[in-house]
Amino acid sequence: MLNMKAVATAFTVATLAVSPVIVTPALAQQAPVTTEVSESELDAFVVALKDVIVIEEQYGERLQQVSDEAERQNIMSEAQTEMAQAVEATPDIDINRYVEIMQLAQADPDLQAQLMAKLEQ
């Protein structure tokens, strides 16, 4: 069972980690954000988020062992790339929709509760 505080932290960390990779292309497209999230999108999001959390944990451990700032930046860049690839490899969701759902969940307590319930399953 996942710790609720850890899940909430993961939402923030995952958004911060993945967003820089896609923010510029997403803004350039100026596509309207769909506020409705289907059950299949929620399921796909949760699969992707679990992968992102695992990657964040792995790279977090590496970061703790490094003191050189340039090396830390390289590790964070690797982590961002790997997280974006993990999201893109998840069926039924792409990186833009993942970030949209992440942002919606941060602003919508009901959606966040739905996602946390699915994460605990």
- Assessment of whether the complete model's pTM goes beyond 0.75: no
Whether residue 92 is contained in a domain is answered as yes
Q: What is the full DSSP assignment across 10-78?
A: HHHHHHHHHHHHHHHHHHHHTPPPP----HHHHHHHHHHHHHHHHHHHHHHHHHHT---HHHHHHHHHH
Range of the domain at 86: 43-121
| Number of domains observed in the structure of the chain | 1
Per-residue model confidence as pLDDT tens digits over 53-88: 999 999 999 999 999 999 999 999 999 999 999 999
